[in-house]
Amino acid sequence: MKATVSGIEAILVDLPTIRAHQLAMATMQQQTLVIVRLRCSDGIEGIGEATTIGGLSYGEESPEGIKLAIDTYLAPALAGVDASNVHAAMARLGKVARGNRFAKSALETALLDAQAKRLGVPLATLLGGAVRPTLPALWTLASGDTGRDIEEAEGLLAQRRHNTFKLKIGRRSVRDDVAHVSAIKRALGDRARVTVDVNQAWNEADAATGIAMLEAAGIDLVEQPVPRENRRALARLAARFVVPIMADEAVSGPEDAMELARLAGADVFALKIAKSGGIFGMLRTAAVGDAAGIALYGGTMLEGSVGTIAAAHGFCTLPELAWGTELFGPLLLKDDVVTQRPVYREFDLHLPEGPGLGLTLDEDKLAFYRRDKA
């Protein structure tokens, strides 16, 4: 019996965070997930998630816009299509909508979750198989306070939960940011790797000054120091400094990856399923990086468990993942909408077992946190 897509629901879910999370462009006090439920005629339901950071301040899609795009354009285009043919379904979405990669990613995850459940295999198995059973996951220190960040890092090192810390900078002056980062690196020493994410906040001159000082302070990686459009500046910085430069906002899909590879524009690519329009787009982006000798890193949009585990299934199939991942999103949330939250142990994220994503929605929590609850 052929299974077809019989219904799609996109649900806005507002969840509290464990603390404020300060980035160059926004301070998050909570996180909004868009949870997608995709029902099929054979009774199987797939779930997916589209999540961004800080409304419209980080990317071009907002949670509300993602829901609108799904409800109005994408869900109607999938009504009645063969639910077992994910590539054909996604090609159809490509015809009805340009861009809207986060929304498409959530739908692709839901289709893949449903199909893997139908076949009785984990999603990574449907993708060809996992080459690593767990994924290293870093933690982002972004409380806005140096002392509090050091205390947080010390606690997580002692618990053996994380040994790599990413610092969000770019809000303050270059000098203040460098002082903050250097103090944290001095306190942690060789016990932890410390990386920074500038989230496009510096111009090229600031970046040259800042990166020279960060390099001297022993920082391991500098992520997206300049605006994403300024690929040539990224290339000049990558050529000038020994500390690896990572492209994040500058690399969405394989086309960006190709352009950056041509320019020698980055040493590392941050991969994310949302910005690539789904797991397959992320894998195509990774393939370009691999071919160009660019190291890979598994990024996050600070998704909850559904989006995080979807990305994890994709990342664990990559032959090379030299810089590990930052799949810590669920840990930033006080609560979630799944019955069992992901396990983090011995510095790694452990994938759940079971078919599909290996997750089940918690109906009570979903009812409680959904924005449109009665």
Q: Which residues are catalytic?
A: 168, 326
Nearest distance in Å: CB 31, ligand MUC: 11
> Could you say whether residue 31 binds ligand MUC (CB under 6 A)?
no
Q: Does 326 bind ligand MUC (CB under 6 A)?
A: yes
Nearest distance from residue 139's CB to ligand MUC, in Å?
A: 9
For residue 301, the one-letter residue type is M
364 CB-near residues (< 8 Å, 6+ apart): none
What backbone torsions phi and psi does residue 246 show, to the nearest 5 degrees? -110, 135
Number of residues that bind Mg ion (CB under 5 A): 3
| CB distance 365 to 337 below 8 Å | yes
**CB under 8 Å, gap of 24 or more: what pairs does 361-369 form?**
361/35, 361/37, 361/47, 361/337, 362/336, 362/337, 362/338, 365/335, 365/336, 365/337, 365/338, 366/11, 366/13, 366/35, 366/337, 369/13, 369/14, 369/15, 369/335, 369/337
Q: Is 326 in the site for Mg ion (CB under 5 A)?
A: no
**45 lines the binding site for Mg ion (CB under 5 A):** no
Q: Name the 3-class secondary structure at 196.
A: strand
Site for ligand MUC in 229-248 (CB under 6 A): 248
**Which CB sits closer to Mg ion, 49 or 197?**
197
**Per-residue x/- mask for Mg ion, residues 141 to 180, rule CB under 5 A?**
----------------------------------------
User: Nearest to ligand MUC by Cβ — which residue?
Assistant: 140
Counting contacts by CB under 6 A, is residue 210 touching ligand MUC? no
51 near ligand MUC (CB under 6 A): no
Q: Is 285 helix (H, G, I), strand (E, B) or coil?
A: helix
Name the minimum Å distance from CB 326 to ligand MUC.
5
61 binds ligand MUC (CB under 6 A): no
Site for Mg ion contains 303 (CB under 5 A) = no
Angle between helices 204-216 and 174-188 (to 10 degrees): 20
Q: Which two tokens stand for residue 306?
A: 């559904």
Q: Tell whether residue 10 is a contact of ligand MUC (CB under 6 A).
A: no
Q: In this chain, which of 105, 140, 317, 325 binds ligand MUC, going by CB under 6 A?
A: 140
| Residue 199 beta carbon to ligand MUC: minimum distance, rounded to whole angstroms | 5
Q: Contacting Mg ion (CB under 5 A), which of 61, 113, 152, 197? A: 197
> Does residue 142 interact with ligand MUC by CB under 6 A?
yes
| 152/326 with CB nearer ligand MUC | 326
* Paired strand residues for 197: 168, 223
Of residues 245 through 264, those in contact with Mg ion by CB under 5 A are: 248
Q: Is 185 one of the binding residues for ligand MUC (CB under 6 A)?
A: no
- At 113, list the tokens: 């979750």
DSSP β-bridge partners for residue 14: 32
Give CA torsion, residues 103, 105, 110, 111, to 10 deg: 110
CB 366 within 8 A of CB 10: no
Binding mask 210-229 for Mg ion (x = CB under 5 A): -------------x------
Please, are residues 38 and 339 in contact by the beta-carbon 8 Å criterion? no
Interacting partner of 142 out of Mg ion, ligand MUC, none (Cβ under 5 to 8 A depending on kind): ligand MUC
Q: SS3 sequence, 54-93?
A: CCCCCCCCCHHHHHHHHHHHHHHHHCCCECCCHHHHHHHH
Q: Which is nearer to ligand MUC, 141 or 351 (CB)?
A: 141
CB 109 within 8 A of CB 306: yes
CB of 286 to Mg ion, least distance (A): 16
Q: Which stretch binds ligand MUC (CB under 6 A): 95-103, 105-113, 255-263, 297-305?
A: 297-305
CB atoms under 10 Å from CB of 9, counted, come to 14
Among 10, 83, 296, 302, binds ligand MUC (CB under 6 A): 302
Residue 313 contacts ligand MUC per CB under 6 A: no
Which residues sit at the interface with ligand MUC, rule CB under 6 A?
Answer: 23, 53, 140, 142, 168, 197, 199, 248, 299-300, 302, 326
Which residues sit at the interface with Mg ion, rule CB under 5 A?
Answer: 197, 223, 248
